[in-house]
């Protein structure tokens, strides 16, 4: 080299790609790769993990049916993300505060909302927001829950509560400015917030690889001074163990943590009609179906004599019946009127809203 350069940018860029392997406990062949962590789980716990994933898959399937029967409003499919969603939420306690996004309805139910409330929420019904769970309603604005979580986390800290805030977004959400602002604020104030990026590969139709030059999404937390890890999002044991460890670390007053779960959205972005065939190939999907979170747990538990096909079928039947009961319950609630929504907008309706209320009440009365 003729001239000595002041800095080697190429080497720095290359270094960015040098990251640890995603954390894993049970691999896709159902082999235990972290014995110490694995042995911390009781048999009952292992069965519970599987039951929760079967429950979430059944909820997804039944909700898709309801959707095609015209009985749902907006729905963001969750198939493929069971380990990532159930693993993390099961590590939380009731006093923890959830800030979900729209694909996190299963976690919200797990955290205390009823299924019928979730269905009402999908229909845009105000009754769907009256759940008892310590949670805000699922956030529709992409990435915005990260900002809310920072504030809630700071509140928990100031009130000296023995609780953390936990929040979710997707890979698309991590490309939004909001997600960095939320993480930066939580970092600056050392607020106990567990940020979870469920990297399911797509922001609607934009592949993860086209959204950012960052080699991992976990490293987006590094700039905010937050310890950040990648976890195998198809391994419920890893998701649970890492979330649990993060919770303990944060409760000791150490500030926020970021987890990126590597998972995959099996179907469409939403029930509103995007066709995944238009933006990805079956060749790409297949390897993900092979590492399905239910398959690896099913094999592990069956080998241990803790699981059977009959048991799973019976559970699915039970769960689906409970969802059918829940939608009947939701159907009992009178549909919302536009005028009701308008009346709720301001404590004292403005003149133009008053005019609209009158107009809609006239339409609704005939």
244 binds other proteins (CB under 8 A): no
Active-site residue, selected from the candidate residues 57, 269, 296, 298: 269
Active-site residue, selected from the candidate residues 60, 103, 125, 265: 265
Q: How far apart are CA 133 and CA 109, in angstroms?
A: 8
Among 335, 352, 365, 366, binds other proteins (CB under 8 A): 335
Residue 77 backbone phi and psi in degrees, to 5: -60, 145
365 binds other proteins (CB under 8 A): no
What does the DSSP assignment read for 234-288?
Answer: T-HHHHHHHHHHHHHHHHTT---EEEEEE----S-S-TTT--GGGTS-HHHHHHH
CB of 332 to other proteins, least distance (A): 8
Q: How far apart are CA 46 and CA 96, in angstroms?
A: 23
Is 123 one of the catalytic residues? Answer: no
The residues facing 23 across adjacent strands are 231
126 binds other proteins (CB under 8 A): no
Nearer to other proteins, 146 or 202 (CB): 202
Encoded one letter per residue, x for contact with other proteins by CB under 8 A and - for no contact, window 57-76 reads -----x--xxxxxxxxx---
Nearer to other proteins, 64 or 214 (CB): 64
130 binds other proteins (CB under 8 A): no
Which of 181, 158, 268, 258 is CA-nearest to residue 217?
258
Nearer to other proteins, 5 or 332 (CB): 332
Q: How far apart are CA 307 and CA 312, in angstroms?
A: 8
Contacts of 25 (CB under 8 A, 6+ apart): 32, 33, 34, 37, 38, 235, 237, 238, 241
Q: How far is CA 327 from the centre of its chain?
A: 22
- Binders of other proteins among residues 292 to 331 (CB under 8 A) are 324, 327, 330-331
Encoded one letter per residue, x for contact with other proteins by CB under 8 A and - for no contact, window 257-296 reads ---------------xx-x-xx--xx--------------
Is 71 one of the catalytic residues? Answer: no
Task: Say whether 228 sits in a helix, a strand or coil.
Answer: strand
Is 269 one of the catalytic residues? Answer: yes
Residues that bind other proteins (CB under 8 A): 62, 65-73, 123, 272-273, 275, 277-278, 281-282, 324, 327, 330-335
């Amino acid at each position: 080299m003729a001239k000595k350069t002041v800095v080697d940018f190429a080497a720095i860029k290359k270094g960015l790609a040098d990251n640890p392997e995603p954390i894993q406990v049970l691999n896709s062949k159902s082999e235990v790769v972290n014995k110490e962590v694995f042995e911390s789980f009781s048999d009952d716990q292992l069965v519970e993990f599987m039951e929760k994933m079967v429950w979430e898959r059944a909820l997804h399937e039944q909700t898709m049916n309801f959707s095609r029967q015209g009985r749902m409003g907006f729905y963001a499919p969750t198939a493929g993300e069971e380990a990532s969603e159930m693993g993390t939420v099961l590590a939380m306690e009731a006093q923890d505060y959830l800030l979900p996004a729209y694909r996190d309805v299963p976690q919200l139910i797990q955290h205390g909302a009823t299924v019928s409330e979730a269905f009402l929420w999908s229909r845009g019904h105000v009754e769907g927001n009256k759940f008892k769970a310590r949670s805000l309603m699922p956030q529709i604005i992409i990435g915005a829950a990260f900002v809310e979580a920072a504030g809630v986390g700071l509140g928990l800290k100031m009130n000296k509560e023995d609780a953390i805030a936990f929040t979710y977004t997707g890979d698309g959400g991590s490309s939004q400015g909001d997600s960095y602002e939320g993480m930066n604020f939580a970092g600056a104030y050392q607020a106990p917030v567990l940020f979870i990026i469920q990297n399911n590969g797509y922001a609607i139709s934009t592949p993860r690889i086209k959204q950012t030059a960052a080699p991992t999404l976990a490293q987006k937390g590094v700039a905010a001074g937050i310890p950040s890890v990648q976890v195998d999002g198809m391994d419920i044991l890893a998701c649970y163990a890492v979330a649990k460890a993060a919770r303990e670390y944060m409760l000791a007053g150490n500030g926020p943590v970021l987890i990126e779960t590597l998972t995959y959205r099996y179907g469409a972005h939403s029930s509103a009609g995007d066709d995944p065939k238009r933006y990805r190939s079956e060749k790409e999907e297949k390897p993900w179906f092979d590492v399905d979170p239910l398959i690896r747990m099913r094999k592990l538990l069956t080998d241990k004599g803790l699981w059977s096909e009959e048991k799973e079928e019976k559970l699915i039947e039970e769960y689906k019946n409970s969802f059918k009961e829940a939608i009947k319950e939701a159907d009992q609630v009178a549909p919302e009127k536009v005028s009701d929504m308008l009346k709720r907008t301001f404590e004292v309706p403005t003149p133009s809203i008053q005019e609209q209320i009158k107009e809609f009440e006239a339409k609704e009365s005939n």
